[in-house]
Amino acid sequence: MLRTPSGGAGHGTAATDRLMSIGTVLNVLRDEFPEVTISKIRFLESEGLIEPQRTPSGYRKFSAHDVERLGHVLRMQRDHYLPLKVIREHLEAMERGEAAPLPAVARQRDGEAVAEPSEGPAAARIGRAQLLAAAGVGEAELAEWESYGLVTPLEDGAFDASVVTVAALVTELGRFGIEPRHLRMVKAAADREAGLVDQVVAPLKRHRNPQTRAHAQDRAKELAGLTLKLHAALVQTALGVRLP
C-alpha cells in the first residue's frame, strides 16, 4: 500500500483529497517503484490512465486517489506485464463495480501458449505476437529492436515477459526522437553493469550450501538496485539536472 501525505488513499473530503505536486507524487511512489520518473507519470496521464487536476497556471495537482491509481497501474505493469490497454479496461471495469480479475500472462510450453497464473510473473513468457500487441508496434520495429540487442528472444522463440517493460520504455523514448540505434550504448552499459553484478554473486551461485545459492538472487537484486541508482545519479550529474 502506498503511503500518501496526511490523508490516506480515499477521496471525497478535504482531509483525504489534499492535492500534491508531481514531485511529491514521485517521492511517494519511489518507495515502492524506485525506477518511476516524472516522464513516466506524464506518459500515463497522456494515455488516459490518470486525470490530475490543473491549476490556473497549468500545474498538475494530484489527489491521494490519483496516487493510489498510479500505484495500481505501475503494479500491474511490474507484476503482471500487462499492456496499458488491458490495464485501462481493468480499471474501468473496477470503477463500474464489476468483477475484474487480472488476465494471466501466457507461458510458452512445447511451442504452445499455456495460461499461467498471475501470481507467478517471474517465470512468465510471452510469444512474439503477444509482445507486438503489448508494445503496440509492428514486426519491422520489433526486428529493429532485436538487431540492436534491446530485446532478445529465448531459445524457443518466446520472450521473457519483462521485455514488455523494455518495449514500453523504448517506445516512450521514441516520442522524444531517440531511436533504437541511439540506445546501443545504453544496452552496452547495462550489459557491463549486469556482468559486474554477476561477477560478484558468482561465488554464491557455485556454493555447496543450497541456502547460500538461493541467497545469490537476493544479493543480485540488491546490487542491481544500487547500480541503477548510481547510474541515474551519474547521468543527472553529467547533465547538471536534479530530479525530485
- Is there a single domain that holds both residue 213 and residue 230? yes
CATH number at residue 90: 1.10.1660.10
DSSP letters, 185-233, are: HHHHHHHHHHHHHHHHHHHHHT-SSHHHHHHHHHHHHHHHHHHHHHHHH
Task: Tell me if 146 is assigned to some domain.
Answer: yes
Please give the DSSP secondary-structure letter assigned to residue 104. P
Question: Do residues 106 and 135 make contact, with C-beta atoms less than 8 angstroms apart?
Answer: no
Q: Let me know if residue 2 belongs to a domain.
A: no
Examine the domain organization and report whether 209 and 185 are in the same domain: yes
| Same domain as 165, residue 127 | yes
pTM: 0.49
Residues in the chain: 244
Give how far Cα 144 sits from Cα of 27, 83, 178, Å.
Answer: 35, 20, 14
**Predicted local distance difference test score (pLDDT) of residue 17:** 52
Whether 45 is covered by a domain: the verdict is: yes
What is the 8-class DSSP label of residue 7?
Answer: T
Distance between CA 40 and CA 38 in Å, rounded? 5
Last residue of a domain, one of 40, 67, 95: 95
Distance, CA of 29 to CA of 33 (rounded, Å) = 6
pLDDT digits (tens, 9 = 90+) for 11-22: 444 434 589 999
What percentage of the chain reaches a pLDDT higher than 70?
82
Q: Are residues 167 and 190 in the same domain?
A: no
Domain-located, residue 83:
yes
In a domain, 28, yes or no: yes
Same domain membership, residue 174 and residue 108 = yes
Of 154, 178, 202, the residue that ends a domain is 178
Domain that holds residue 116: 104-178
- Between CA 106 and CA 118 the distance in angstroms is 9
- State the pLDDT confidence band at 5, using cuts at 50, 70 and 90: low
Instruction: Judge whether residue 101 has pLDDT over 50.
Output: yes
Do 208 and 236 lie in a common domain? Answer: yes
Residue 11 lies in a domain: no
Residues 155 and 189 occupy one common structural domain:
no
Look at the chain and report how many structural domains it folds into.
3
| Residue 36 and residue 63 in one domain | yes
What pLDDT, on a 0 to 100 scale, did the predictor assign at position 100?
A: 60
What does the alpha-carbon distance between residue 192 and residue 121 come to, in Å, rounded to a whole number? 26
* Domain-located, residue 121: yes
Based on the domain organization, do 161 and 219 belong to the same domain? no
- On whether both 130 and 70 belong to a single domain, the answer is no
Going by pLDDT thresholds of 50, 70 and 90, the confidence category of residue 9 is: very low
C-alpha cell at 58: 497549468
Q: What is the pLDDT of residue 243?
A: 65
Q: In whole angstroms, how far apart are CA 171 and each of 26, 138, 188, 214?
A: 21, 12, 19, 35
Pick the last residue of a domain from 68, 95, 122.
95
Note whether residue 4 is domain-resident. no
